[in-house]
Every structure is written in structure tokens, then in C-alpha cells.
Amino acid sequence: METKDTIVLISIATVLYLFFYLKKCYEFFDRYNIPYTKPNWIFGNMTGAVFMKKRVFMAYADLYRQLDGYKFAGFFTMQKPSVLIRDPELIKDVLIKEFGSFQDRGITVNEEVEPITNHLFSIRGEEWKTLRTKLSGAFSSGKIKTMFPRMKKLGEKLQTVLLDVANGRDFDAEDLCERFTTDVIGSCIFGIDINSLDHPESEFRLIGKRVASFRWQRAIRSLWPGIPNRLIKLFKITLFEEQCQTFFTKMVEDTTKYLQQNGVSRSDFFDLLMSLKNTSSSSSSVNEKSQKKLDITIDMMAAQYFFFFTTGSRSPATAISCALFELARHENTQNKMREEIRTVLKENDDQLTYDVLNKMTYVDMVIAETFRKYPTMGMLLRRCKQNYRVPDTDAIISNNTPAIISIVGLHNDEKYFEKPNDFYPEHFTEVAKSKRPQHAYLPFGEGPRACIAKHFAKLEVKIGLIFMVRNYSYKVSLKQKLPFKLQSNFGFAVENGVWLKCEKVPVIKNKNTSMV
């Protein structure tokens, strides 16, 4: 009896402890005058994401809809409190006006366990500020303009490859588009010919597939971005396979060795990183703080290579393939876009130049609408680093509390977009844009931590679409399963491809054409 009584008492004590512990956790927002949605007793407000029944960014979008009428509100992931920011003006404060209070994303980086994650997207504080400033030059408007000829050349090659599939048979548009964007990143950013368009199983394509493959560790990290370093180290909860680290580290080491031995300067992204590394190693030891800011190691260079390779190939490829999917479903939109491309080129002697590209305004509208429906990032993460009083309220977002912005929620809000469930490029006419709050559309984020390469990505997508749509028409394949099954916890990445049918569209050519 004594043993049974002891077990009963321990059980009661445990239940009471959990009750009062959870009660205290869930009273968090009462202490800071923040409205919040009632949590599930154990799993908070993210039950679907906790059990991997839905992607994290879609769970945030569901919360956004549930909290209609609130400018901001609290919620819980398990017992971890976060604040969802819904109002465009408050979003502007968080991302721009009060950036100093919300500078970091709150993503844990463990350089010891996984050096490849120590890149521009994840790092914090002064180290981020210094690196961002130094790398911005690689994506200036002038630098991007010089990349145009190389992108155009690869677009012409993409158009040639399309001849092999332009017979009405099924093909995976996402795979083909990613081969194109992989070659663009190789040529324009890394100064190498990857040649994925001719060789689909190139080493870079295979490593790209490994990066995108599912890992339960990544699912945990996306649900809990601020996971303590000690747990990452103890349980080896890494975002990517060790092979990815090895591949990019070796590539940086081999390139460094080759350039140094041969005295070669290529004036590309790698040269910029090498310059930063040399600046770091030659910094005066007197200024230790400055030296720490510029501590660019081989591992850190590999991390930047990895980041720009994965984001520069995967996300634009998804955008191009999803745009083609929507064009395949909307024949009138597809025809209108093709007609603009052909008309503008005809008016300019069939010569596609950087200036001619900017005359294709309807193409821009199609691309903008694609990023609305299929944003590169489904949400934005920020972590408050000092108590912040929400303007015109008594509410305080406390130090170390995550602030979440649901891009999917904003982009599908009928207050800002007339037909949120449709693919409707007219959302981006000048009149429509003038009626909408600026910060209701955030495909690349906003403020100092907005995507550093957003103009590069838009150009990459635009060139890909022009060469794919000008002389080819598309229909959705019966092989395509709907709705899309999403592969990523942060933004749209379609699992199992985007399957279409492609056919050649007759075009009258003249002897001066540079596009066939």
C-alpha cells in the first residue's frame, strides 16, 4: 500500500506542478497587456505544425486569419510565447523604423556543430551589419546590369533545351528551371560553368537536391528557431547533411588555392569574399572589436557560398515554375504575356537588351503576382532585443520575444488584394498598388534585412520566363497533383515537381533576331 500511495502522491504532485507551470506560462501576455489567442493546454496554438501536419508558415497564415481585426496578438508554440504582427504600419515599425529593437532573426547558429549555417541570413548584431555592408556591392544595380549578358546567354540555352520537351509530353518544369537558375548562379556569382542544362546530374544539381531533401532535424529547427545551442550540440540537430558542408568547404579551399597559385583575379563574388578574408587577417590586433567583426574564415566563406547558391537557385526556380503553372491554367494571361514579349521585341529589332527588358511591364505584373501567391519566404522572423512599447497602446513586446510576420497571411488578405484566391496580375497595376499599404506586400522582406539579392532574383526570373514563354505554350499535365505538396517550412518549395506539357508556338523570325 505504501508503494501505491507514494506513486499516487507523486502523480498528483506532477499533475499539479504541470498545471501551475503551464498556467504561469500561458499568463505571459497578461503581464504585458498583449491580446492573445487561447492556447491548447499542452501544444499551444501550433498543434498542426508540432505534429508536422502542416508547414510552419502555413500555420502562421492560419493564425493570421483567425486574428482578423487585431493589429497584433500573442500566441504560443508549445509554451514558447511569440507575437504575430498583422498591421502594415506596425510591420513598418518592426522592419524599418524600430529596426534597432528587432535587428536579429533569432535563429540559433552553432558554428562549431554546423559552420555552414553561419551566413548572412542567420548571423546577428555587428557581425551581420559589417558583412551585409561589404556584400551589398556584389548586388548593386550596376553590378547586376553587367550580369545581364551572361543571364541572357543562359536564357537562350534554356530556350534550346525546351525544344526537347516541346512535343506535348509531360516534363517537370521545376527541375528544368532549377537547372537554369543553378547555371545562372554559377556563371554570375561564382564565375564557373556548372552546365546543368546539358548535364542534369551535375555535382551541383545533386548537392542541391540533398540540401532540399527532408530532414526531421530541420523540421524541429524551423518550429523552434531559437533552440538552445547546447541542445543542437548534444543531439546533433543540424539543418543539413555533413556532405553539404564538406562540398562547399572543399570548393572554397580549391578555388582559393588555384587563384593564389596562378595570381588570377576574376572580379566576382569570390574575389569579394577573398578581399574580406584578407582584410580580416591583416586587421590591427589593437582594434580587437573591429577584428572580430571581420573574422572571415574559410568556413564562413563556404557558408556564404552555400547560402547564395541555395537561395539563388532554388527560390527563383520555384517562382518561374509556379508562374508557368499559373500561365498554363490561365490561357488568356499566358497569351497576353507572350504578345507583350513579342511586340516589345519586334519594336526593338528582336534584340533583347537590359533597357528593352524594362519595357515589359505586364511580364513584371505576372512576376509580382507569382511572388504574391508563392512568396520566397512564407513568413519573417524577428526577435525583440529590448522592451518595445507598441505605439498608442499599453502593450509591450518584451525582450527576447519573437515577432512573426505572416507573408502568406498578408498576401491572401482581401483587404489588400481584390482577388486573393485567384492568379490576378492586375493586383499590380499602378492604380491597385496606390490603394494598398506598402507593407502589405513583402515577397523579399523589407528594411535593412530585406533580401540582399532581390533585384538579381527578379532579373533571373524575368529572363527565364521571357525565353520560356515567347515561343512556347503550356498546359497543366494530368500528372500534376493538386494542391501542391509543400517541401519547405519557411516558403514555397513544391514537392515532387511542377508537371506541365509544352508545345512550340509559331513565330515569324527575321534575319536580325537574337532569339529563336
| pLDDT tens digits, 290-331 | 444 557 888 988 999 899 988 888 999 999 999 999 999 999
> Among 148-162, 239-253, 288-302, 459-473, where is mean pLDDT lowest?
288-302
Question: Are the CB atoms for 479 and 487 separated by under 8 Å?
Answer: no
Cα 511 off chain centre by: 41
Amino acid found at 79? Q
Task: Take residue 354 and report the three cell numbers written for it.
Answer: 537590359
Output the 3-class SS for 469-513.
HCCEEEEECCCCCCCCCECCCCCCCECCCCEEEEEECCCCCCCCC
Pick 511 or 53 by higher pLDDT: 53
474, β-bridge pairs: 502
> Among 90-94, 270-274, 310-314, 451-455, where is mean pLDDT lowest?
270-274
Task: Take residue 198 and report the three cell numbers written for it.
Answer: 546539358
- At 287 the pLDDT is 45
Going by C-alpha positions, the residue among 182, 467, 179 that lies closest to residue 323 is 467
Give the β-pairing of 379-383 and 499-504.
unpaired
- At 508 the pLDDT is 59
pLDDT range class, residue 1, cuts 50, 70, 90: low
Beta-sheet strands, E only, within 86-166: none
Cβ atoms within 10 Å, residue 483: 6
pLDDT tens for each residue of 189-245 = 888 889 999 998 888 888 888 887 777 787 778 877 878 888 888 878 888 888 888
424 φψ region: left (φ > 0), alpha (ψ -120 to 50), beta (else): beta
**Rounded to an integer, what distance in angstroms lies between the CA atom of residue 89 and that of residue 398?**
19
**Rounded to an integer, what distance in angstroms lies between the CA atom of residue 286 and that of residue 294?**
14
Cα 134 off chain centre by: 21
Cα 275 off chain centre by: 27
- pTM value is 0.90
Residues written for the chain: 516
- At 284 the pLDDT is 43
Identify the DSSP state of 36. B
**Rounded to an integer, what distance in angstroms lies between the CA atom of residue 436 and that of residue 406?**
17
pLDDT range class, residue 266, cuts 50, 70, 90: low
Question: Are the CB atoms for 352 and 466 separated by under 8 Å?
Answer: yes
SS3 content of the chain, % helix, strand, coil (to 5): 55, 10, 35
Amino acid found at 365? M
Quick one: average pLDDT of 152-174? Answer: 91
**Rounded to an integer, what distance in angstroms lies between the CA atom of residue 177 and that of residue 168?**
18
195 φψ region: left (φ > 0), alpha (ψ -120 to 50), beta (else): left
**Rounded to an integer, what distance in angstroms lies between the CA atom of residue 215 and that of residue 22?**
30
Burial 366-388 (b: 16+ CB within 10 A, else e): bbbbbbbbbbbbbbbbbbbbeeb
Cβ atoms within 10 Å, residue 211: 21
pLDDT range class, residue 101, cuts 50, 70, 90: very high
Going by C-alpha positions, the residue among 307, 256, 317 that lies closest to residue 119 is 307
pLDDT range class, residue 473, cuts 50, 70, 90: very high
Task: Take residue 444 and report the three cell numbers written for it.
Answer: 523579399
Q: Grid coordinates 498583449 are at which residue?
A: 34
Considering only the C-alpha atoms of the chain, give the largest distance between any 2 of them, rounded to a whole number of Å: 99
Going by C-alpha positions, the residue among 396, 390, 395, 404 that lies closest to residue 46 is 404
